[in-house]
Structure 1
Amino acid sequence: IDAILSTTMRLIGEKGIDAVTMKEVGALAGGPIATVYHYFPSKSAILAMLYERFSEVSRARLTDILADVREAKDVIAAADRLLDDYLGRVAGDPAIQDLQNAIQADKALKNLDIAETRHQARMFCDHVTALIEPGKHEQFERMVLLIFQLAGGVVRLALAEGEAQSRQTIEDYRSIIHTQLRLFL
C-alpha cells in the first residue's frame, strides 16, 4: 500500500493528477494493476487515502503548535504558526497542491475535506476556548471554522500569484485572522 501511495504522490507531483493512471501506478509501484485495484478500487480511493495521511500529519502539527498555547496572547502566535506551517507544506510539495485541487473537484472527497476542517477547527477551539470570554464561545467556534476553511483557498491563491503578491496575500489574510481573534481575546 505504501508503495502505491508514494508512487501516486510522486506521479501527481510530476505530471498532475489528471495524467496519472492506475496502470502506471501499478507498473511503477512494482506490481500488477490487479494489486492496485485490490487495495484501491479507483483513483478517488487512492486520493482519499493520500488525503487522510496528509490530514494525520496536519492534526499532529496542529497538536504540537497548540501545546505552546497557555495564555490568550499565545493564540495569535499559534494561528500565525499554523498558517505558515500550512503554506510551507503546500508550497514545498507540488503534489500536495494537486491533491488538494483534486479533493475540491470530487464531491465525496470535498465532503471529507469539510469534515476534516471541522475536526481541526474543533481541536483548535477545544484547546483555546478556556481563554475566550464567556458567552462568546459559539461565535468564536464559527469564526475559527471559517478561518480554517478559508486558509486553503487563500494559500491556493497565494501560490498562483507572483512572489511579491503571494507574500501580500498571506499577510492580508494574517491581518484578517488577527483582527478576528482579537475580538475574542
Structure 2
Amino acid sequence: MRKKTTEVPERPGSEPTRRNPTQQRSRERQERILAVATQLIATKGSDQVKMSEIAERSEISIGSLYQYFPDKSSVIRTLAERYNAQSRRCIEGALSAVEDAQGLRTAYAQLLDLYYEIVLATPAMRDIWSGMQADKQLLELELEESRVAGALLAKAMLRVNPDSDAQQVADAAFLIWQLGEATMRLAISCAPEEGRRLVDVFKRMSLREIMEPVTINMPDS
C-alpha cells in the first residue's frame, strides 16, 4: 500500500506562498489576522512582533496562520499593499482632474497634506515602513509604488507643460515621490509641530521643480 502522507503547514524559510481566501469564513479569518497584526505592529513595532503572538491573539493555531501567511514579511507585505492601494486611489483621483498650473499646484499640495494626516492617524504605517526597509523584496515593492505614483504625477505635469522633457519629468516625479515617502517617515518621528514644518518645507521645495520642469531645447529653424 502507498503510505499516506500528511501535509505540513508551510514554515518560514520555504518558498512563500500566500493563501487567497475565497470563502466568507476564510476572508473573515484573514481580516482578523491582519487587524491583530496591525494592532501589534502599532504597539510593539514590526521587529518585535512574532508570528506565534499573532496566532494567539487571532485565536487560531500557528499552523492555520502559516496557511494564510507563510512568514511575517508576507503579513507586512499585505498591509503595505493595502495602504499603497488606498494611496494610489487618492493620487489618481486628485491628479486625473488636473488641467492647468493652478490645478496641479493645488492637487499636489492637498495630496501631501492628506497623506501626512493619514500616516499620523495610522501609527502602524511607520513600523510597516521600517519592516520594509530591512527586506529586499519589500523595499522593491516600495520603490515600485513610488514609480507608479511618480508616473501619475509626471503625466499631470506633462499635461500642464507639454513642452517639457518627458524623461526628465519622469525622473523628477519619481524622485519627488520617493523623497516624499522619506519626508513622511521623518515627520511622524518628530514632534507634531516640527513634523508639520518639515512637510511644508518639502512641499515648497518639490513644488518648485513640479511647476518649472525642464523644457525641450528646440533646434533653431
Equivalences, count:
185
Contact 1:133–1:184 (CA under 8 A) maintained in structure 2: no
* Of 99, 114, 117, the match for 1:85: 114
Q: Which runs of 4+ in 1 moved over 3 A?
A: none
Distance 2:190 2:35 in 1: 28
Q: What's 1:28 paired with?
A: 57
User: In structure 2, what is the equivalent of residue 72 of structure 1?
Assistant: 101
Q: Deviation string for 1:44-85 (max 9, x for gaps)?
A: 011111111111101111112124412222111111112112
Larger Cα-atom Rg: 2
Aligned partners of 1:122, 1:67: CA distance in 2, in Å? Answer: 12
1:121 pairs, out of 138, 144, 150, with 150
Taking the TM superposition and a 5 Å limit, the aligned residue runs for 1:153-172 are 153-172=182-201
Higher helix proportion: 1
TM-score, normalised via structure 1 length: 0.93
* TM-score computed with the length of structure 2 as normaliser: 0.78
Identity of aligned residues (%): 28
RMSD: 1.6
Cα distance, 1:163 vs structure 2: 3.1
In structure 2, runs of 5+ residues without a counterpart are 1-29, 215-221
What displacement does 1:10 show?
Answer: 1.1
Please tell me whether residue 19 in structure 1 is matched to residue 48 in structure 2.
yes
Residue 92 (structure 2) aligns with: 63
**Structure 1 residues 51 and 163, CA gap change in structure 2 (3 angstroms):** closer
SS of alignment partner, residue 55 of structure 1: helix
3-state secondary structure, aligned to 1:160: coil
What are the ranges of 5 or more consecutive residues in structure 1 without an aligned counterpart? Answer: none
Mapped to 2, the partners of 1:54 and 1:89 lie a distance apart of 10
In 1, are the aligned partners of 2:146 and 2:177 still within 8 Å (CA)? yes
Distance in structure 2 (CA, Å) of the matches to 1:87 and 1:131: 25
